Amino acid sequence: MSFQTPATEDFYRVLPELIWCGFGVLLMLLQPFTKNRPFFTAVAFVGASLGALSAFESAQHPGAGFFALIQIDTFSIFLHLLVGGVAALVVLAAGPYLKRENLDPAEFFALVLFATAGMGVLSSAQELLTAFIGLEMSSIASYVLAGYRRDTLKSSESALKYFLLGSFATAFFLYGIALVYGATGTTTLTLMQDAPATSNLLRLGLALILIGLGFKVAAAPFQIWTPDVYEGAPTPVTALFSAGPKAAAFALLLRIFATVPAATQYWFWAFWILAVLTMFAGNLGALVQTNVKRLLAYSSIAHAGYILVAFAAVTNMDAADKNLGAVPAYTAVLFYLLSYALVKVGAFTIVSQLGGKDEKYVTLDDYAGLSQRHPVAAAALSLFLLSLLGLPVTAGFFGKFYVFKAAVNSGLIWLAVLMALNSVIGAYYYLKVIVAMYMREPHDAVKDAPVAFPATVNIVLVLSALGTVYFGLFPNQVLRLLLEKTLIGGLK
Amino acid sequence: MNVNLALPMLTLFPAFGVIALLVLRGDDHVFIRRMALAVSAIEFALSLFLLPQVPVGSTGYRLEINVPWITSPPIHLHMGVDGLSLFLVLLTTFLTPISVLASWNSIQHRVKDFFVALLMLEVGVVGVFVSLDLFLFFLFWEIMLIPMALLIGIWGHERRIYAAVKFVLYTMAGSALMLVGILWLYNATGSFDLVEIQRQLQAGIVELSPRTEMLLFLAFFVAFAIKVPLFPLHTWLPDAHVEAPTAGSVILAGVLLKMGTYGMMRFCLPLFPHASYKAAPYVATLAIIGIIYGALVALVQPNLKKLVAYSSVSHLGFVVLGIFSFTVVGMQGAIYQMIAHGISTGALFLLVGMLYDRRHTFEISQYGGLATPMPRLAAFFLFAALSSLGLPMLNGFVGEYLVLLGTYIVHWQWAAWAATGVILSACYLLWAYQRVFFGEVTVEKNKTLPDASERERFILATMSIVILWMGIGSSYITHRTEKAAEAAHEHMQQWDVGAAPAPANGNVVTLERSSNR
């Protein structure tokens, strides 16, 4: 194999990642010179959003780059925008949080940007080892972020748990790659199109990859870590975890199972079972939670289950009607990820502000009577919860609607019915929070607790709330973008 | 493509009021109340303009608007009224200002939020009745949940939170399945448009296998049956009613329950006639059980508000029975009974609420001999009770009579059983009336209770006039609902129900791949 230099175009294709990493490094270099918090927040925000916007530049150079290691298509552009947008919002929300908890901003923001770059790589990777690098980039930064409040016990526990289980899962993923390579002789997804579907080695390899990614997206039975990690991590980090890495891991999963036909045919039942298990594990677990952070963690497990329903729909398509049904199913996943990310970032931002110093106030009792103490926060959190519940005029409704539609389209009526039942279970615990906020009286300790909503946090809330309502009224824009373009490069 | 903005404007008008309420002075309670009253009164006045639009003998939908909203999947802003929905819309817009008036003094806590919720509720309910796109219908159906839950949960009585959550969960359980059903239909027909889907099913372009049709029917029917509520699914209703504030109860009994029966007439029957036909004996049985069971439970209730709530279960049983008799008379009776029940039960809830305002209890044993301190209230109560139990000349009689007549034509046994409900309703209402208003004043406090105030007299007089007018001038309504009932009935006949659907030349749609994969 002779060494070639990558084309100039290729650098445009990874422009977002370059910007994110560049700003990450810049932040670390700036750290010794200033202690100015707003300055770091501004730099990190500019970095995150610039990186996200530069995805439009990479969109001018569609196709495979770096010798087919990555693929720039509508799918990857969309996800770059998504993870970049999430990072920008998280940066804004984290500024006041870091100040309150007296944590160092520069490293934090740098880690957020590195993690985002990793997610960017994941969403455009078309080769398994590249994907592995992306996964590691985002994971390692995430481990550190989870333990960022290092003097608190819970945060350290969260980091350790995430690290141990995460590296275990990564090992599965890597082993899976090795087996797939053994079976097909390549790690490039597009070259596996003709791989024999009957190869047991390939199946095993894909199963291990599924386990590795199942851990990242918190699919049952690999979800055990989620509540503890989400609870212990600083809340802005939790917001990032629940939106970014999940989206990126789902993206990779989707790309693998969309590109490798050998995978799509045999994994229908795997996804079916995963989806059902995950939905029930998340929803039933959330029922008994009194800590809002944990409740939202369980809810994010449940939502992973709903997304997996769309995966089952994708893999259930017969080859013949693939063009008919699969593309809407991919679109359903992407729209779901978008609506879900908006909502989760908004919700966790509110949780982070209401927590007060050391995140003291995170139980349902502390949320009692919030509508009287802080009506706007209560209204915004209700909006987000209703979106998670899937009520109309919120983005969450259309997210769920398209997944339902994908499932019904591919004939998975019973899965759709199970999902419907799960949304009803979900309604109970989301309502519990709303009931606490609107129908109970605040207890004495929180009555006098100051609830501060600084400007940057308000921007995050306004953006995510507007987005939630906007996509709840006009989901068209996103869908048109996704439907009119070739969605996934390898898929014809 | 029709663009007639009348109905969207009518639907959204209260929402503008909500925005005005939110923006304008929030602390001046009198201003807020007046504002809410003005908005809801104007809404009622606007809705009156619908009346000339649906003349006697008109068929099809009037004031239609049909513009695309979301292109993929094709969701349209499709609205229209016909004889069926016209009066339900009017009922909604009529009961809302009444509810505002009824809450004038009893709501002192978070006043602005209360009226915002009440007006949003009106938006949702009117939207449900005028939507002709399944998706739009579902949207309003879900939207209306939240304000209602808030009304119960914030301004209700002791167990309000339990009742609110129960109400939402029951409804969500039904509607989630309905959403699957809607999507299934969309998958088969490629449209969310009720008219289009109906056309395709009727013309045989899309044929549903009997099993598919039955499953689809159930997906819709269960959602509606929960709302009605039909017998085994009714347990949320007494809780919701007892815990809700008066205005909440009035709207809940007056219009929300009708959304269920409306859905059955609008969707279940026209879309799934075979399945409806097959299910009719079971549905009718449940309806009759509901009629008798509701009446019996009402008979032994020590709680006055629960008594009225269970009487709703009983009365709505008549509506379902009328619909599933598949006769024009029965269906017309059902429509009429929907309106009549909204008015007379609404009036009863208002009266119970007025008693509660004075004594803060619903226990019948706490009252007795109230006719002495408050003769006017007693008179109005008697009037409303008589209308509810179906005294001829008042509105309750017409609906029940037509339903029983329509049912008798096809199944005299059903009518016989259901008729016992009429007798029982006289028992529980008159007995309750006797215990509350007649005899000696047993509790000392009751001796000095004030009689109906001017505001209350106005509310009650308005309700009484409507009750009387509906009883005497019933033909004004029945003439206008006739075509809607006939259309549904003809439709059942046209499909030659009863005979098994022949697997004709069309492609039979079966979507049960998942089960045998």
**In the predicted structure, residue B510 carries a pLDDT above the cut 60:** no
Gap between the Cα atoms of A318 and B108, Å rounded = 61
Query: Is B177's CB within 8 Å of A417's CB?
Result: yes
Q: What is the pTM of this model?
A: 0.84
Residue B72 contacts A where some CB pair is shorter than 8 Å: yes
Instruction: Note whether A482 and A78 are within 8 A (CB).
Output: yes
Instruction: Note whether B317 and B404 are within 8 A (CB).
Output: no
Please report, rounded to a whole number, the percentage of residues in chain B having pLDDT higher than 70. 94
Q: What is the mean pLDDT of residues A253-280?
A: 81
Instruction: Note whether B176 and A420 are within 8 A (CB).
Output: yes
DSSP class of B133: B
Gap between the Cα atoms of B38 and B463, Å rounded = 19
Whether residue A217 lies inside any domain: the answer is yes
DSSP class of A6: P
Q: Which of A350, A425, A426 is nearest to A384 (CA)?
A: A350
Query: Is A391's CB within 8 Å of B143's CB?
Result: yes
Q: What is the mean pLDDT of residues A384-413?
A: 86
Angstroms from B512 CA to nearest CA on chain A = 6
Whether residue A53 lies inside any domain: the answer is yes
User: What's the pLDDT at B498?
Assistant: 43
**In the predicted structure, residue A323 carries a pLDDT above the cut 80:** no
User: What's the pLDDT at B516?
Assistant: 34
Query: Is A421's CB within 8 Å of B71's CB?
Result: no
Query: Is B139's CB within 8 Å of A392's CB?
Result: yes
Q: Sorting pLDDT into bands at 50, 70 and 90, what band is A263?
A: low
User: What's the pLDDT at B502?
Assistant: 37
Query: Is A439's CB within 8 Å of B142's CB?
Result: no
**Which pair of structure tokens corresponds to residue B122?**
């009106």
Gap between the Cα atoms of B105 and B96, Å rounded = 16
**pLDDT tens profile B360-407:** 888 888 888 888 888 888 889 899 999 888 888 888 888 888 888 888
Q: What is the mean pLDDT of residues A295-313?
A: 90
The residue extents of the domains of chain B are 280-497
Residues of chain A contacting residue B187, judged by C-beta atoms under 8 Å apart = 405, 408-409
User: What's the pLDDT at A265?
Assistant: 61
**In the predicted structure, residue B442 carries a pLDDT above the cut 90:** no
A306, exposed or middle or buried, with CB in 10 Å at 0-12, 13-18, 19+?
Answer: buried
Q: Which of B114, B117, B239, B116 is nearest to B167 (CA)?
A: B239
Query: Is A391's CB within 8 Å of B146's CB?
Result: yes
Angstroms from A458 CA to nearest CA on chain B = 19
Which of B177, B215, B514 has its CB closest to that of A415? B514
Q: Which of B76, B49, B75, B44 is nearest to B63 (CA)?
A: B49
**pLDDT tens profile A64-79:** 888 888 888 888 888 9
Q: What is the mean pLDDT of residues B268-276?
A: 86
Gap between the Cα atoms of B93 and B123, Å rounded = 10
Please report, rounded to a whole number, the percentage of residues in chain B having pLDDT higher than 90. 10
Query: Is B180's CB within 8 Å of A386's CB?
Result: no
User: What's the pLDDT at A177?
Assistant: 92
**In the predicted structure, residue A295 carries a pLDDT above the cut 80:** yes
DSSP class of A25: H
Residue B67 contacts A where some CB pair is shorter than 8 Å: no
Residue B48 contacts A where some CB pair is shorter than 8 Å: no
User: What's the pLDDT at A490?
Assistant: 43
Which of A393, A424, A438 has its CB closest to that of B154? A438
Instruction: Note whether A228 and A286 are within 8 A (CB).
Output: no
**pLDDT tens profile A179-228:** 989 888 888 888 887 777 677 888 888 889 989 999 988 888 888 889 99
Residue B419 contacts A where some CB pair is shorter than 8 Å: no
Q: What totals of helices (H) and strands (E) does chain B contain, helices first?
A: 21, 4
* Mean pLDDT score of chain B: 84
C-alpha B156, offset from chain centre:
20
Gap between the Cα atoms of A443 and A436, Å rounded = 11
Which B residues in the span 117-156 are in contact with A, Cβ-Cβ below 8 Å?
138-140, 142-143, 145-146, 149-150, 153-154
Q: Which helix (H) or strand (E) holds B208?
A: strand B207-208
Instruction: Note whether A225 and A308 are within 8 A (CB).
Output: no
Give the C-alpha distances (Å, rounded to integers) separating A308 from A208, A319, B372.
17, 20, 68
3-class SS of residue A449:
coil
Size of interface A-B (CB pairs under 8 A): 96
Residues of chain A contacting residue B140, judged by C-beta atoms under 8 Å apart = 392
Range of the domain at A255: 8-484
- The per-residue b/e assignment along A381-405, b for 16 or more CB within 10 angstroms, e otherwise, is bbbbbbbbbbbbbbbbbbbbbbbbb
Instruction: Note whether B415 and B452 are within 8 A (CB).
Output: no
Q: Got the DSSP string for B92-112?
A: HHHHHHHHHHHTTTT--SSHH
Residues of chain B contacting residue A416, judged by C-beta atoms under 8 Å apart = 180, 183
Which B residues in the span 184-223 are in contact with A, Cβ-Cβ below 8 Å?
184, 186-187, 215
User: What's the pLDDT at A324?
Assistant: 52
**pLDDT tens profile B117-154:** 889 999 999 999 999 898 889 988 988 888 888 888 88
Query: Is A391's CB within 8 Å of B515's CB?
Result: no
Instruction: Note whether B92 and B148 are within 8 A (CB).
Output: no
3-class SS of residue B70:
strand
| Largest separation between any pair of C-alpha atoms in chain B | 78
**In the predicted structure, residue B503 carries a pLDDT above the cut 70:** no
Query: Is B176's CB within 8 Å of A480's CB?
Result: no
Gap between the Cα atoms of A408 and A402, Å rounded = 10
Q: What is the mean pLDDT of residues B5-26?
A: 83
Angstroms from A17 CA to nearest CA on chain B = 33
**In the predicted structure, residue B267 carries a pLDDT above the cut 50:** yes
**Which pair of structure tokens corresponds to residue B345?**
């039960």
Query: Is B517's CB within 8 Å of A316's CB?
Result: yes
Residues of chain A contacting residue B149, judged by C-beta atoms under 8 Å apart = 431
User: What's the pLDDT at B224?
Assistant: 92
Which of A393, A413, A479 has its CB closest to that of B72? A479
Residue B168 contacts A where some CB pair is shorter than 8 Å: yes
Angstroms from A405 CA to nearest CA on chain B = 6
How many structural domains is chain A composed of? 1
Angstroms from A392 CA to nearest CA on chain B = 6
Residues of chain B contacting residue A476, judged by C-beta atoms under 8 Å apart = 70-72
Query: Is B72's CB within 8 Å of A421's CB?
Result: no
3-class SS of residue B237:
helix
CA angle B246-B249-B250, nearest 5°?
85
Query: Is A411's CB within 8 Å of B513's CB?
Result: yes
Write the single-letter amino acid at A453: F
Nearest Cα residue in chain B from A375: B113
User: What's the pLDDT at B497?
Assistant: 45
Nearest Cα residue in chain A from B152: A439
ipTM of the complex: 0.76
Gap between the Cα atoms of B328 and B326, Å rounded = 7
Query: Is B165's CB within 8 Å of A401's CB?
Result: no
Whether residue A384 lies inside any domain: the answer is yes
**Which pair of structure tokens corresponds to residue A332?**
């359903």
**In the predicted structure, residue B73 carries a pLDDT above the cut 80:** no
Q: What is the mean pLDDT of residues B177-201?
A: 85
Q: Which helix (H) or strand (E) holds B329?
A: helix B328-359
